[in-house]
Amino acid sequence: MQWENLTSTDFAVAVRSTGVCILSFGVLEKHSEHLPLGTDFLNGHRLACLAAEKEPAVVFPPFYFGQIYEARCFPGALTLRPILLLELLQGVLDEIGRNGFHKIILHNAHGGNSHLLPFLAQSSLWEQKPYVLYYYVDSLSGNRHAEWAALLETKYHGHACECETSISLANHPHLVKMERVPEQPAEPLGRLAGVPGNFSGVSWYANHPDHYAGDARPATAEKGRALQRLLVDAFAEFIAKVKADQVAPALQQEFFNRVHQVEQA
């Protein structure tokens, strides 16, 4: 169920019947020369909606505020001051909670959020809230991982690559410009290899200065539909586990009970 498509009355029913809201995080950034700026939030929101059709949940409207400072050197990127970004995210989560959801799934649809969202989850221990955060990254294991690999012709992936372009072709083919796919694949340049084990703000830029990682030439909509099916099935299973979970809420309450004991000592 999509939050923005529900009436107010139907929304209240959805909150009671599902108890779970999904917030899919994308951004606005360059995706080589052939994919739209909104690729991450477009695909992420679509995936969340498909998963929520299989395992009922409410999906927050398309969301494109996240960590994407490494794309500020390209036209079309949208960034917010770091403190403002964190305040915005916390405000949105609090509003979701105020509307009655006791469980919120943070779904990461953009690799650059891989540090931000865990920090956001950890920050939930700063102040007690009426909801629990669950952080989900698209992840496949076992047979699904093998099936995913078997569908692809290229080995290196990362950004605007074969898999991301294929899924985009399945979701919004009118926005994909296959004639603009670079003639050569984009392998990591390793310009920071002289400092092994290091992570810097320019680490991504050092490897991929054109915001392209992989080879999109073999991408097809047929592959995209197959890849998305694997992601949807895995995500739906995660939603079901979150809905059934009673451990995380109990542990969070136990944690804050101990915090209050320390404060009152």
3-264 placed in CATH 2.120.10.30: no
DSSP assignment of 59-95:
EPPPB--S--GGGTTSTT-----HHHHHHHHHHHHHH
Nearest-angstrom CA–CA distance, 77 and 71? 6
What are 93-124's pLDDT values in tens digits?
999 999 999 999 999 999 999 999 999 999 99
Q: DSSP code of 219? A: -
Tens-digit pLDDT profile for residues 202-216 = 999 999 999 999 999
pLDDT at 179 over 80: yes
Torsional sign, CA 44, 63, 118, 216: positive
Residue 264 has pLDDT above 90, yes or no: no
Can you give the pLDDT at residue 7? 98
Q: Is 263 helix (H, G, I), strand (E, B) or coil?
A: helix
For the chain, the structural domain boundaries read 3-264
CB proximity list for 227: less than 8 A, separation 6 or greater: 148, 151, 163, 166, 167, 170
Mean pLDDT to the nearest integer, 123-133 = 97
pTM of the model: 0.95
| Mean pLDDT along residues 17-37 | 97
pLDDT tens, position by position, 149-169: 999 999 999 999 999 999 999
